[in-house]
């Protein structure tokens, strides 16, 4: 059979080399990450700075936690792993460039992740899949002992349609956290989300990392105060867009939560509504957030404030030991 003129030769499995990441791989890995993320024009802010920053995540060591597949001197795919020892899990991402698929690379990467999980005696292995990629990924994962563990909704609202939100009261304000208060924010965040599925308690160093990643300063976090002190907060993720796309200026809610004792009293609604007005006043048009599908109260709140479903994320789990620590009651 004659090969089509423009078709790529099919690489053989034995022509791949899977090895740990080296600094010389950065350019090739960066290009592959951009292909993996499928950066749309509105996400052009995920530039070299952000990709490079992700390599400096606390507790993440590129030479240990990234593996690449090399074919004919080029990076054909990668495995990236994030260890969350305090809750006993390993999160991994696998991406193989389309011309190199169906050659067993995904399976070999998965074996590497499973070996890391077992060596470090972690309870579970997790992988997150977007709605767009679910069909192919789910088939691959289910055949290899994974199960669907959780799903999350990504919701979005157009702030230009927000006629009016709550006028910020004296109990809701920014500027409460100042440089050096990373530990205070970590403590508040850990108290709020301690029983949330998949949440790994943060350290002050991780708070500093996420502040840089979300382009948000400590004094831009909105805080809800009550008679007994801080009750909740909203942490925005500001997204920089090219001037040509300023008309779709976009923001995400990185974290939003209220302490357990103050929920179901309208305090969270007042805080979030005030935050929406504040973010709109700063010139942002679209606001996005992620919510656990099982958090019906939060979903109801978001819908009442104009948020609509945009897409879903699916978390798959390989767990042969028992439940992960964050699932224990």
At 188 the pLDDT is 97
Q: What is the mean pLDDT of residues 62-87?
A: 94
> Dihedrals φ, ψ of 174, to 5°?
-100, 180
CB 109 within 8 A of CB 67: yes
- pLDDT beyond 70 at 14: no
- Reported as a pLDDT band with limits 50, 70 and 90, residue 8 is very low
pLDDT in tens, 130-163: 998 898 899 999 999 999 999 999 999 999 987 6
Q: What is the mean pLDDT of residues 259-271?
A: 92
The β-bridge partners of 150 are 315
Q: What is the mean pLDDT of residues 218-224?
A: 94
- pLDDT beyond 90 at 34: no
Q: What percent of the chain has pLDDT over 70?
A: 84
Domains 13-122 and 155-311 share a fold: yes
pLDDT, mean over the chain: 87
Residue with tokens 């060596």: 119
More confident residue, 2 or 188: 188
Q: What is the mean pLDDT of residues 209-228?
A: 93
At 306 the pLDDT is 94
pLDDT in tens, 287-326: 999 999 999 999 999 999 999 999 999 999 997 644 556 5
At 194 the pLDDT is 93
pLDDT in tens, 86-106: 999 999 999 999 889 888 999
- Reported as a pLDDT band with limits 50, 70 and 90, residue 40 is low
The β-bridge partners of 70 are 17, 75
- Reported as a pLDDT band with limits 50, 70 and 90, residue 5 is very low
Cα radius of gyration (the chain)? 22
At 325 the pLDDT is 60
- pLDDT beyond 90 at 115: yes
Q: What is the mean pLDDT of residues 223-249?
A: 80
- pLDDT beyond 80 at 26: yes
Domain boundaries, the chain: 13-122, 155-311
- pLDDT beyond 80 at 6: no
**What secondary structure, in 3-state letters, does the chain show?**
CCCCCCCCCCCCHHHEEEEECCHHHHHHHHHHHHHHHCCCHHHCCCCHHHHHHHCCCCCCCHHHHEEEEEECCEEEEEEEEEEEHHHCEEEEEEEECHHHCCCCHHHHHHHHHHHHHHHCCCCEEEEEEECCCHHHHHHHHHCCCCEEEEEEEEEEEEHHHCCCCCCCCCCEECCCCCCCCHHHHHHHHHHHHCCCCCCCCCCHHHHHHHHHHCCCCHHHCEEEEECCEEEEEEEEEECCCCHHHHHHCEEEEEEEEECHHHCCCCHHHHHHHHHHHHHHHCCCCEEEEEEECCCHHHHHHHHHCCCEEEEEEEEEEECCCCCCHHHCC
**Token duo for residue 144:** 């290899």
| Whole-angstrom distance, CA of residue 26 vs CA of residue 31 | 9
CB atoms within 10 A of CB 249: 18
- Reported as a pLDDT band with limits 50, 70 and 90, residue 173 is confident
CATH of 155-311, one of 3.40.190.170, 3.40.630.10, 3.30.310.80, 3.40.630.30: 3.40.630.30
Q: What is the mean pLDDT of residues 101-127?
A: 94
More confident residue, 77 or 52: 77
- Reported as a pLDDT band with limits 50, 70 and 90, residue 53 is confident
More confident residue, 33 or 80: 80
Could you tell me how many residues make up the chain? 329
At 227 the pLDDT is 85
The β-bridge partners of 81 are 92
| Whole-angstrom distance, CA of residue 73 vs CA of residue 318 | 33
Q: What is the mean pLDDT of residues 261-276?
A: 92
Handedness of CA 185, 191, 194, 196 (dihedral sign): negative
At 106 the pLDDT is 93
Class of domain 13-122: alpha beta
- pLDDT beyond 60 at 283: yes
């Amino acid at each position: 059979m004659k090969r089509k003129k423009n078709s790529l030769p099919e690489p053989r499995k034995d022509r791949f080399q899977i090895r740990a990441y080296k600094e010389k791989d950065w350019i090739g890995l960066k290009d592959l990450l951009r292909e993996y993320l499928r950066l749309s024009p509105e996400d052009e802010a995920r530039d070299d700075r952000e990709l490079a920053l992700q390599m400096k995540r606390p507790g993440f060591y590129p030479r240990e936690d990234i593996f690449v597949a090399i074919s004919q001197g080029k990076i054909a795919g990668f495995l990236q792993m994030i260890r969350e020892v305090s809750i006993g899990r390993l999160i991994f991402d696998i991406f193989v460039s389309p011309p190199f698929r169906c050659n067993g690379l995904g399976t070999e990467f998965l074996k590497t992740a499973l070996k890391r999980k077992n060596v470090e005696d972690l309870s579970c292995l997790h992988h997150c899949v977007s709605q767009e990629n679910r069909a192919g990924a789910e088939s691959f994962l289910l055949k290899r002992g994974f199960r669907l563990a959780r799903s999350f909704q990504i919701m979005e609202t157009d702030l230009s349609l927000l006629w009016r939100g709550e006028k910020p009261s004296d109990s809701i304000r920014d500027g409460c956290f100042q440089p050096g208060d990373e530990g205070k924010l970590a403590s508040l965040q850990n108290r709020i989300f301690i029983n949330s599925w998949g949440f790994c308690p943060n350290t002050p160093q991780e708070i500093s990392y996420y502040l840089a990643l979300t382009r948000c300063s400590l004094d831009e976090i909105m805080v809800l105060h009550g008679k007994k002190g801080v009750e909740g907060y909203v942490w925005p993720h500001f997204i920089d867009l090219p001037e040509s796309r300023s008309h779709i200026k976009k923001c995400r809610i990185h974290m939003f939560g209220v302490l357990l004792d103050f929920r179901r009293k309208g305090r969270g609604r007042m805080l979030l509504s005030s935050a929406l007005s504040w973010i709109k006043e700063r010139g942002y048009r679209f606001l996005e957030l992620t919510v656990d599908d099982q958090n019906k109260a939060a979903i109801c709140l978001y819908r009442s404030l104009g948020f609509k479903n945009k897409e879903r994320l699916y978390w798959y789990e390989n767990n042969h030991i028992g439940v992960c620590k964050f699932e224990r009651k």
